[in-house]
Amino acid sequence: MAAKRQPKIRVQMRKNRGTSTRQNDLTRAHHAGDAPEETAASSERVSHKGGLTRKRTIMGQQSGDQVVRAVDETVCRAGRVLRAIGSTQCLVQDDVTGEVVPCTVRRMLRTMASDERTAVVAGDRVLYQPLDNQQGVIERVEPRQGVITRKHQYREHVLVANVTQVLIVASLGEPPLKPPLIDRFLLSAAKGNVSAAICLNKADLVDLVDLQPLIALYSRLGYPVIPTSPLTGAGLPRLRQLLRGQQTVFTGQSGVGKSTLLNAIQPAFELRTAAISQVTQKGRHTTRYAQLLQLDTGGWVVDTPGIRQLDLWDVGKGEVEGYFREFRPFVPYCKYPNCLHLDESECAIRQAVHAGFLSRQRYESYLRLVVGDD
């Protein structure tokens, strides 16, 4: 039987050169008689190579926004990226042997144009080709399922891929609690089709009675809320139960105690930690890259670098309301179908907030997302 022909697709490649510069004003020199004809002809170009549109035909197929290259699967092995360092170096765990293999990323993957900051991220399912020196080359990235992303320098920064839930870690003391940032993470999780839970860490620094309104607010919306304290052990048994059998990414701003929590859950991780700055009351970046860690009780966790600001990627103003669960019953009663719930007349959302049916705190988070006031 003849082998199945792989489809061909046309893909855009990144430009490999920047804008060319003119070494001198050859045109003016030519008219002044100071430059010979052969110099002008050999030195000037109407369009340099880097300015051309670079496209290439490859074997593969399009899966959503991702290009899946056709590769020789008989010489490749399947694995999962445990850690991605920069855009070229990764650690891949082989699906069959469990061996951790240092891998580079095939140049073709890195040079295909996309909105993403890097071609390979922690959590990616990949096919890699083993080399003779106990290393490998990543040949293909499989389509992603659950992703957590943010906007970074006008590009999509995928923090982690193929996770089933995100644990949003917030601090109850140092640094101070920021509910609007929690709401941003909740929206990012919903956009990436990942379930979310909220961990209120450093619970030993406050009286939890004062936090009951906040806990009740998110619990009514269907988000598990777990107050924890690695110092006293409060909440850790419930957190371990939540993580069991899941692929969970720990995310939150710097200094909230993500690595400390993971060390408390499984001391063998021995993750590096540091106290927050007493001057700025902000966390220090002790975790430099996202990495997958396997739990003894089953499942995986992903420790990520702290984020001081979460800019959402590819979320239009008109889409934000759909990610606020409690808004949905009221939206159909707005007078205008394209109501942004800012200052429009007969807005059902604003009326519900005024009447106390919707949280004013959550509505103010919505306004920050729509208006762009951080």
pLDDT in tens, 310-333: 777 778 888 999 999 999 999 999
The pLDDT tens digits for 337-354 are 999 999 999 999 999 999
Is the pLDDT reported for residue 104 higher than 80?
A: yes
Alpha carbons 194 and 171: distance in angstroms, whole number: 22
Q: Where are the beta strands (DSSP E) in 116-271?
A: 125-130, 136-141, 147-152, 155-161, 165-171, 195-201, 225-227, 247-251
Q: Which two tokens stand for residue 368?
A: 């920050």
- The domains of the chain, with CATH numbers, are 69-143 (2.40.50.140), 157-303 (3.40.50.300), 317-371 (1.10.40.50)
The mean pLDDT value for 91-101 works out to 94
Q: What are phi and psi of 199, to 5 degrees?
A: -110, 115
Q: What is the mean pLDDT of the chain?
A: 81
Beta partners for residue 79, in sequence order = 94, 126
Q: Which two tokens stand for residue 76?
A: 């490749």
Is the pLDDT reported for residue 28 higher than 50?
A: yes
Judged on CB neighbours under 10 Å (0-12, 13-18, 19+), 366 is buried
Q: What are phi and psi of 313, to 5 degrees?
A: -100, 130
Q: Give the helix ranges, DSSP H, for the chain.
A: 26-31, 37-43, 107-111, 179-191, 212-220, 236-243, 258-265, 348-355, 360-371
Strands 291-294 and 300-303: antiparallel
168: three-class secondary structure by DSSP: strand
Residue type for 89, please?
A: Q
More confident residue, 1 or 200: 200
